[in-house]
């Protein structure tokens, strides 16, 4: 059955490497029979800031405005702004979401962070009862595809930028996995701006090859919610005991004060 793919794209220039990576994804996935839709955030003029303007009509508590609560109430009442509901409709229909962007300050560009803040509304994308592997989007897949300004060696355990696995943990676990997505390993284009033209071409060819089998890839591994107690959300004693004697921690974030798993956040099944 043909899949629906949403590419959330955040770059200002149609001549950029990010644009080329986005175009490659559209072309290869469409050739496989996928329906591909692109949210070009800069072209759309997507608003980055999460404010009371996102809510139609009066807010519940204007004096002590809480976006988390007000947005949830507005979503329940069908009073979110049209630009948010349009993106939520795209997301609801998609089987796979690809975020294509240049890494800014070890994270995503402000306009993409705004999409995350505003579109992944409390209630629509997550709740206290539905999160992590029991999350609302547990039947959907998502992945990060991005460029860096630094070489791969600089994002290593001995490099000046630190281990890329650590950089990815808040994005892949704290956003994507938190909302329930099955997270595919990221596609990282290392410093294309400083690479030779032939090397940039090879990067896109590698991306094209991966895209041809992307829909069958195994997701990254995360710790299931039922491994934690329901009060303090600490690892259950039995789970902790099972792993305490092992060489590596469970994940980048839940590492038990042990060395980090070698490929966690970067490679499927690790």
Question: CATH number of the domain that 203 lies in?
Answer: 3.40.50.360
CB 17 within 8 A of CB 147: yes
Residue 1 has pLDDT above 80, yes or no: no
Same domain, 254 and 122: no
For the segment 54-80, the average pLDDT, to the nearest whole number, is: 93
**Distance (Å, whole) CA 160 – CA 141:** 32
Q: Which of 122, 123, 50 is nearest to 83 (CA)?
A: 50
Q: d(Cα 264, Cα 167) in Å, to the nearest integer?
A: 11
Total number of domains constituting the chain = 2
Task: Show the domain range for 134.
Answer: 4-218
Cα 120 to chain center, whole Å?
11
pLDDT band at 189 (very low <50, low <70, confident <90, very high): very high
| Mean of all residue pLDDT scores within the chain | 94
Residues 31 and 70 in one domain: yes
Q: Is the pLDDT of residue 268 over 80?
A: no
What is the SS3 assignment for 173-199? HHHHHCCCCEECCCEEECCHHHCCHHH
Q: Which of 22, 17, 12 is nearest to 190 (CA)?
A: 17
Residue 262 sits in the same domain as residue 143: no
pLDDT of residue 244: 86
């Amino acid at each position: 059955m043909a899949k629906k793919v949403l590419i959330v794209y955040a770059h200002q220039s149609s001549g950029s490497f990010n644009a080329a990576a986005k175009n490659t994804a559209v072309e290869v996935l469409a050739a496989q029979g996928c329906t591909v839709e692109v949210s070009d955030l800069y072209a759309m003029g997507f608003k980055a800031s999460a404010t009371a303007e996102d809510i139609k009509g009066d807010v519940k508590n204007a004096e002590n405005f809480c976006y988390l609560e007000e947005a949830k109430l507005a979503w329940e009442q069908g009073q979110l702004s049209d630009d948010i509901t349009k993106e939520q409709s795209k997301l609801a229909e998609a089987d796979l979401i690809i975020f294509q962007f240049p890494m800014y300050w070890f994270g995503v560009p402000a306009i993409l962070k705004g999409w995350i803040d505003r579109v992944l509304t409390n209630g629509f994308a997550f709740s206290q009862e539905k999160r992590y592997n029991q999350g609302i989007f547990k039947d959907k897949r998502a992945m990060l595809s991005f460029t860096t300004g630094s070489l791969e060696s600089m994002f290593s355990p001995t490099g000046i930028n630190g281990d890329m696995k650590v950089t990815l943990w808040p994005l892949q676990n704290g956003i994507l996995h938190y909302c329930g997505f099955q997270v595919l390993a990221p596609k990282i284009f290392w410093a294309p701006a400083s690479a030779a033209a032939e090397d940039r071409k090879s990067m896109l060819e590698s991306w094209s090859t991966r895209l041809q089998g992307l829909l069958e890839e195994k997701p990254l591994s995360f710790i299931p919610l039922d491994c934690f107690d329901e009060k303090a959300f600490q690892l259950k004693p039995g789970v902790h005991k099972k792993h305490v004697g092992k060489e590596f921690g469970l994940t980048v974030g839940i590492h038990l004060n042990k060395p980090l798993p070698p490929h966690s956040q970067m490679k499927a099944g690790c």
